[in-house]
Each structure stands twice: as structure tokens, then as C-alpha cells.
Amino acid sequence: MTSVALYDTKPYDQQYFLQAPRYNEISVQFHEFRLTSETAATTGEANAVCVFVNDRLDANCLALLRKKGVRLVALRCAGFNNVDLNAAKSLGLAVARVPAYSPHAVAEHAVALLLALNRKIHRAYNRVREHNFSLNGLAGFDLYGKTVGIIGTGKIGKIAAQIFRGFDCEVLAYDPFPSPEWAARFAVRYTDFDTLLASGDIVSLHLPLTPQTCYLLNAETFAQMKRGAYLVNTSRGELVKTKSLIEQLKSGRLGGVALDVYEEEEHLFFQDHSADVLQDDEFTRLLSFPNVLITAHQAFFTHEALTEIARVTTENVARFNEGEPFVEGSVLVALP
């Protein structure tokens, strides 16, 4: 039986894993702390580890895991920027992920954030609870007729684009690997990156974090954006240079910013810090802007997505035990 150690788990992870179809075929230890080189000694008898977005599997951590007898790293997420795949390959470790659990969950959250921010729903909610029925300062804009720039038209970006088309927005897209048939079907227009930045009333990021895309939005690229544009980032925090983002907000160049991810989220998100003095000055500065709305990496967090994450992950771990091929699209590094 494959024994798997799960890291950075919360009660909801445990609840969904317990209900997964092949859960009974594997032996599971749940850990609430994260997997890093400092905690790699905690795998016990496990020959597989299961990790999430903020576990850090660098070369050192992977070497320690290999020494302890681990052969499989199963990511219960789609992004894999936190695992050194080259090191895994040279150590003979297999790496699998959940390639698509619910692109709808993330795309719908991106649009929800934008709607809430633009129509100031979060502020109106607090006012009404205090019996303040004034509308001063709550004016938004119609999405109808606005130009939305979608950067990255993979699984999530495509659905986000389709939702914006439903509002009758003009949708521009940029992706080095475009999907022309899909674009024609939904009347989405591909363009180059610079034109998208210069034309978007709203720019929404749906591309992966890689060394090439890190700080895609920085002082220089922000300067190419329309004055008053809104930015939505539900992809990865490091796509945006936070220092420059704060400057753009202070100068009023950006009209609004909706974030589900943050450059330094590893130290904050998925934990209750409500009784702590936050030490991250850039994050607290972001919170101080009335035109910034932040959620703590919850775009994926739907019943459908959690069910699929648990199903695919337990399926991969069970298949590993049986020597069967992993679920289609999950393999990042095959076993040698």
C-alpha cells in the first residue's frame, strides 16, 4: 500500500480526501505544517508526499525526501512553481499534479472580485449593516462595452474571457500559444502584449509563474497601461511587482486592483493572523487603499474543485502503488 504524507492540510482537505473514491487503498498521514527542507524529516514511512501551493520543494528538500525513501511528489494544485522539477528528475522522483480541477472556480472568482470591487459591494455591505444607506462614493462603471485584456488563454483564461463576453465586453487576449478557433467562436481578438496593455480598461492575469513571467507587471509595463485601468490577478503573486503596484495606486494610474494572490503570501495566507501584528508593510499598505480588494488565495475553493483535487490526487497515489500510468495530463516528471 502506498503511504502518503500530506502537508499544509486544513480540516476541509481532510474532509474531501476521506470521501475520495480510492482513499481506502492508500495509507495517509495529515500534517498541518508545510513541507520544506526543515520539515522533510517528518515523512515517516511515507513513499509519497502530497503538497500544496506554499510548500517549498527546492533541490535540498527533494534530496532529503529521496533519502527518506520518497518516490512520488503529488501536488494537489495545478501550478508547480514551488517544486524544482529538474532536481526531482535527476533524483529519480516522480512529480504529478492535478492539471484541471475546476477552471470555472478560478475564472468565476476573478469576475466576482472585479464586480465586487467595481460596484463596491464590500463597502456597501458594511454600510448597510451599520444602517448607513448613503450612496456617496459607491459609484461604479458598466462592464458592458468595456475592453478586457486577458493575459494567458489556457483553461482558466478562456473561461474568464467567455464570461466577460457574456457582459458584452470587448475581449482582447495575449498568449504565445493562441487558440484561434476558440477565439473566433467567442469573438475574442488576439493581439500583442503591448496593445493589450494599452487598450484594456481591465487586465486579468491567467498565465503561469515562470522565470520568464516573474514581474510581468512592473514599473515599465504598468506605464503602458491605460490610466484608470483595473487589474485582476488570480494567478500568482510574483507576476506583479508589489512595490510598483503600490506606486501605481498612489499615483492614481490604476483605478482598482483585485487580488487573490500576493507576492509574499507564503507568510500570510491560509493562516489566521487576526491576533498578530502584521510585519509585511507592503501588504498592509495594499490593504489601506479603498480601491484594492484582496482575497487570500481562495479562487479554487469550491465544492467541485475540492472534490476533484481529492479524487485525482488519491487516484494518482493509488495508481503509483499499482504501477499504473498517472491520470492524463498530471505527469510533470515521470518515474525513470
- Taking the least distance from each CB to ligand NAD, the nearer of 141 and 182 is 182
List of residues 6+ apart from 269 with CB closer than 8 A: 54, 262, 296, 297
Q: How far is the CB of 237 from ligand NAD (least distance, A)?
A: 10
| Residue 32 DSSP one-character state | S
CA distance 221 to 215: 9
Give the Cβ contact number of residue 114 at 10 Å.
24
Q: Which residues pair with residue 3 across a beta bridge?
A: 27
- Taking the least distance from each CB to ligand NAD, the nearer of 60 and 221 is 221
Q: One of 109, 206, 297, 311 is an active-site residue; which one?
A: 297
The yes-or-no answer on residue 236 being catalytic is yes
Q: How far is the CB of 301 from ligand NAD (least distance, A)?
A: 7
User: Which residue is associated with the grid cell 449593516?
Assistant: 129
Q: One of 31, 34, 236, 311 is an active-site residue; which one?
A: 236
- Taking the least distance from each CB to ligand NAD, the nearer of 20 and 98 is 98
Query: What would the grid cell of residue 14 be?
Result: 481532510
| Residue 67 DSSP one-character state | H
Q: How far is the CB of 272 from ligand NAD (least distance, A)?
A: 19
Q: Are 107 and 81 in contact (CB under 8 A)?
A: no
**Closest residue to bound ligand NAD by CB:** 154
Q: How far is the CB of 290 from ligand NAD (least distance, A)?
A: 23
Q: Is 159 exposed, middle or buried (0-12, 13-18, 19+ CB in 10 A)?
A: buried
The yes-or-no answer on residue 322 being catalytic is no
Starting at the edge strand found earlier in the chain, the sheet holding 170-174 runs 188-190, 170-174, 147-151, 202-205, 229-233, 254-259, 292-294
Q: How far is the CB of 133 from ligand NAD (least distance, A)?
A: 34
Binding-site ranges for ligand NAD (CB under 6 A): 78-79, 100, 103, 106, 151-157, 174-177, 206-209, 213, 234-236, 260-261, 297, 299-300
The yes-or-no answer on residue 265 being catalytic is yes
Q: What are the start-end ranges of the H helices in the chain?
A: 11-18, 59-67, 85-91, 103-119, 121-129, 155-166, 180-185, 193-199, 219-222, 242-251, 281-288, 303-322
CA distance 283 to 274: 14
- Taking the least distance from each CB to ligand NAD, the nearer of 91 and 292 is 292
Q: How far is the CB of 121 from ligand NAD (least distance, A)?
A: 20
- Taking the least distance from each CB to ligand NAD, the nearer of 28 and 112 is 112
List of residues 6+ apart from 190 with CB closer than 8 A: 172, 173, 174, 175, 178, 180, 183
- Taking the least distance from each CB to ligand NAD, the nearer of 78 and 148 is 78
| Residue 24 DSSP one-character state | G
Q: One of 108, 238, 265, 308 is an active-site residue; which one?
A: 265
Query: What would the grid cell of residue 42 be?
Result: 517528518
Q: How far is the CB of 217 from ligand NAD (least distance, A)?
A: 11
- Taking the least distance from each CB to ligand NAD, the nearer of 34 and 43 is 34
Give the Cβ contact number of residue 140 at 10 Å.
13
CA distance 312 to 244: 38
Give the Cβ contact number of residue 188 at 10 Å.
24
Active site residues: 236, 265, 297
